[in-house]
Amino acid sequence: MPQHRFASIHVVGTNGKTSVAEMTVALLEAHGVSAGAHVSPHEERWSERVRIGTGEIEPEAFAAAVERVAESVEVVNRRLEEGDAVTQFEASAAAAFVALAAARVDVGVIEAGLGGRLDATNVLPSRVTALSSVGLEHTQWLGDTVEEIATEKLAVLGNHSTLVLGRVDEGVEGLARRMASERQAQVVAVRGLAPQVRLASHGAYQRRNFAVALACADQVVDSLDPERVAAVAGALELHGRVEVAAGDPPLILDAAHNPDGARALAEALPEAAGERPIVACVATLADKDAAGIVGALAPSLAGIVATEIPASQLEHAGRPGAESLPAEKLAEIASAAGIGDVAAVAEPQRALRRALAGARERGGVALACGSHYLLGYASRN
């Protein structure tokens, strides 16, 4: 099986998984360990989910992996009960494993999709599992408390492996340590990033993610070189994670799509925007806590343009059947949160242009957030 042809680091959690995965790959590559990653979701191309080294997989290599998996899917589907079939995410994860094995990486850093216990990535024989964070999300599938959600995520922890524990509350840490003890797994609790390490990325939450990535890489590399670590930290800028795109006005892109992510973004905004007013373009999926997201951001915003993601875009991005919260409904939530300047523009590119114009008029900064799927439109404006 392809996932047995490389050592794996499994990244689970509510927020920070993609950042931790990409940071870990960069650190390993800087220390001479060939690495790749499987992350999700994507914005425009399915191949964005597979990273070989620090770059997106080449189209030909991705096509070869997909073709191989497609052949296997046909065989598997014939053996399943009527009404059952391999899902898009399962096929995507399998293609990533095939691609990483074909690239002969030493280490694959694999981001879980949803939870852990029932996730398609749970077949990994991982030597390291990282729990980046735990918050209330996907409660209809994972549980109503952070402890229940953490239990689902940590179900992938292997016997005699290592658990790297990001910043979690006391109850989750206690649970994680008990689960690790049952599996005779070592626990590495990350408490913070050394002050001499300076990140190109803005925001305290990215510093926390980098600390988790450092702990993961430390389980693979005998001795991390401080100069190489500093070089990675100073150069690595991640798309959609407090990413500041230069322009008039500047545009901040962030994938925050739940209340915890929005709170982390709000914490980072003063560092990224300074004292300039911020006009946000926001879209959320219908199953997200839109009031929690907007409420966390409201004190930081001078205005908001509510928009929505077309169903065709969501289907293309691997979310068939998912719906965006209507722009008018999101605008009502923003007004209720006390934001004074609120507009609803359903078409996302028009909405982004309006937010940019509003920020320009104020001598401020624009922000696009609320959904991964909004960020792809920003590059088209």
> Which is nearest to 35 in space by CA: 161, 220, 207?
220
Torsion sign, CA atoms 81, 87, 92, 97 = negative
**pTM for this predicted structure:** 0.92
Say what the alpha-carbon torsion angle 313, 319, 325, 327 is, to the nearest 10 degrees: -10
Say whether 243-378 and 2-235 share the same fold.
Answer: no
The pLDDT mean for the chain works out to 90
How confident is the model at residue 137, as a pLDDT? 59
Candidate from 8-12, 123-127, 148-152, 346-350 with smallest mean pLDDT: 148-152
The distance in angstroms from the start CA to the end CA of the chain is 43
pLDDT digits (tens, 9 = 90+) for 157-188: 999 999 999 988 899 899 999 999 999 999 99
**CA distances from residue 372 to 9, 239, 355 in whole angstroms, order as listed:** 23, 10, 17
Rounded CA separation 359/363 (Å): 6
pLDDT in tens, 100-117: 999 999 999 999 987 666
Query: What's the rounded Cα separation, in Å, for the pair 211 and 167?
Result: 10
pLDDT value, residue 46: 93
Q: What are the residues facing 139 on neighbouring strands?
A: none
The pair of structure tokens assigned to 39 is: 């992350």
Mean pLDDT confidence for 1-9: 93
Contact (CB, 8 A) for 36 and 131: no
Q: Which whole number is the average pLDDT over 323-352? A: 95
Q: Would you say residue 317 has pLDDT above 70?
A: yes
> In the structure encoding, which two tokens stand for residue 361, read together?
């008029």
Is it the case that residue 141 has pLDDT exceeding 90?
A: no
Segment 4-25 mean pLDDT: 94
- A 10 A CB-CB count for 71 gives 9
The pLDDT confidence band at residue 381, using thresholds 50, 70 and 90, is low
Quick one: which of 199, 367, 217 has its CA closest to 282? 367
User: Which single residue is written with the structure tokens 């998984």?
Assistant: 17
Residue type, 98: V
Q: Any idea which of 2-11, 141-150, 224-233, 328-337 has the lowest mean pLDDT?
A: 141-150
Rg (CA), the chain: 20
Residue 142 reports pLDDT greater than 70:
no
Please write the tens of the pLDDT for every residue from 50-94: 999 999 999 999 999 999 999 888 877 778 777 777 788 889 999
In the chain, at which residue ranges do the beta strands (DSSP E only) sit? 7-12, 35-38, 50-52, 55-56, 107-111, 128-131, 162-165, 186-189, 243-245, 251-253, 278-282, 303-306, 341-344, 365-369
| Domain spanning 243-378: CATH superfamily | Mur ligase, C-terminal domain (3.90.190.20)
Q: Each residue of 217-269: pLDDT tens digit?
A: 999 998 999 999 999 999 988 888 999 998 899 999 999 999 989 999 999 99
Average pLDDT over residues 8-30: 95
What pLDDT score was predicted for residue 218? 96
Tell me the per-residue pLDDT of 192-211, one tens digit each, with 9 for 90 and over.
777 678 888 888 889 999 99
Q: What integer pLDDT is reported at residue 183 of this predicted model?
A: 94
CATH topology of domain 2-235: UDP-N-acetylmuramoyl-L-alanine:D-glutamate ligase (3.40.1190)
Q: How far apart are CA 247 and CA 270, in angstroms?
A: 18
pLDDT tens column, 35-46:
999 998 888 899
The pLDDT assigned to 139 comes to: 45
Locate the domains of the chain by residue range: 2-235, 243-378
Rounded CA separation 186/164 (Å): 8
